[in-house]
Amino acid sequence: MSAVPVVSLRGIVTRFGSNVVHDGLSMDIEAGEIVALVGGSGSGKTALLRHIIGLTQPAGGTVRLFGEGLREGSVHDRIARQRRFGVLFQQGALFSAFDVGENIAFPLKELGVATEGELRDLVALKLAMVEMEPEHAALMPAELSGGMVKRVALARALALEPELLLLDEPTAGLDPDRSAAFVRLIRSLHRELGLTVVLVTHDVDTLAALATRVAVLAERRIVSFAPLEETLKNDHPFIQRFFLGEHGRSALARRDGNH
Ligand SMILES: Nc1ncnc2c1ncn2[C@@H]1O[C@H](COP(=O)(O)OP(=O)(O)OP(=O)(O)O)[C@@H](O)[C@H]1O
């Protein structure tokens, strides 16, 4: 296959003082995949997402997005590249002083891509994509349920019609019903928009429902990168604990029951 990976990480080294978080980490993510990134607390999952989108630069190694180095090209090229991905951070991270519509419009305004009238239409369109109503645009973040906060944050991540969506713990803090609804939403958006998705999650239910491949971050690198069935056969201690502990077992049993 000659297609260029959407994300290509080579020999990534990340250090915070004497804390070496990644040491020679490499991984390629192909177009259309949903990759679940798992690893212990503090293993560097969020730090890796931050490198992928260029918020931080690793101490060593290279990050390529859509076949281009993150620092490559003119300012114009970099802005164009930024429009090709959307991010949903761990806490949903809406701006509390802005209403829902302003939150969703924020990336569009920042890049100056629409007039006020177009913005209103685009906000309504993005709300519909996450199964919310145009009236919800006037609500303030404090008035939203946890599931709605995630939906609005997702609508904002989709604002610029990205090809790549990065989700950091998208279902954390949601009850099982809301979590399942969010998973269905991501699955249908993935299908309809042809997105590539990178998903950090501790939740085996979410992962089992979505991931085309599971990347396991342990010992400062990716120790396994394979479909779930194959991952489960790996006897790495972290993998065994993560999937075959009590929570993992019951999630996998639920998945088998749903098939
Ligand atoms: N800006 C920073 N300054 C210093 N240390 C940092 C910084 N960001 C992350 N770290 C450290 O790097 C390590 C990896 O952090 P990171 O947040 O990427 O882990 P994670 O795998 O996402 O964890 P969790 O699952 O708990 O969210 C941790 O030891 C963390 O303390």
Q: Which atom of ligand 1 is nearest to the CA of 44?
A: 18
pLDDT at 249 exceeding the cut of 90: no
At 43, is the secondary structure helix, strand, or coil? coil
Q: Is the CB of 19 under 6 A from ligand 1?
A: yes
Of 115, 182, 181, which is closest to residue 153 (Cα–Cα)? Answer: 182
The backbone torsions φ and ψ at residue 227, rounded to the nearest 5 degrees and listed phi first, read: -60, 160
Strand boundaries in the chain, DSSP class E: 7-16, 19-29, 34-39, 60-65, 68-69, 85-88, 164-168, 196-200, 213-218, 221-226
Cα(182) to centroid(ligand 1), Å: 26
| Amino acid occupying residue 73 | G
- What is the per-residue pLDDT across 91-135, written as a single tens digit (0 to 9) for each? 667 889 999 999 999 888 877 777 888 888 889 999 998 889 999
What per-residue confidence (pLDDT) applies to 94?
A: 87
Cα(48) to centroid(ligand 1), Å: 9
Share of the chain above pLDDT 90, in %: 60
45 or 80, which is more confident: 45
Beta strands 68-69 and 60-65, pairing class: antiparallel
Q: What is the dihedral of CA 4, 7, 10, 14, to 10 degrees?
A: 170
Q: Average pLDDT, stretch 68-93?
A: 84
CB 215 within 8 A of CB 226: no
Q: What angle (nearest 5°) sits at the alpha carbon of residue 118, between those of residues 86 and 161?
A: 20
Query: Given pLDDT bands bounded at 50, 70 and 90, which one contains residue 258?
Result: low
Residue nearest to atom 4 of ligand 1 (CA): 16
Number of C-beta neighbours around residue 230 at 10 A: 12
Query: Given pLDDT bands bounded at 50, 70 and 90, which one contains residue 259?
Result: low
Highest mean pLDDT among 13-27, 100-114, 183-197: 13-27
Q: Average pLDDT, stretch 206-230?
A: 96
What ipTM score was computed for the predicted complex, to two decimals?
0.96
Q: Is the CB of 39 under 6 A from ligand 1?
A: yes
Q: Average pLDDT, stretch 139-159?
A: 90
Query: Given pLDDT bands bounded at 50, 70 and 90, which one contains residue 191?
Result: very high
Q: Would you list the domain boundaries of the chain?
A: 90-161
Q: Is the CB of 58 under 6 A from ligand 1?
A: no
Q: Is the CB of 15 under 6 A from ligand 1?
A: no
CB 182 within 8 A of CB 150: yes
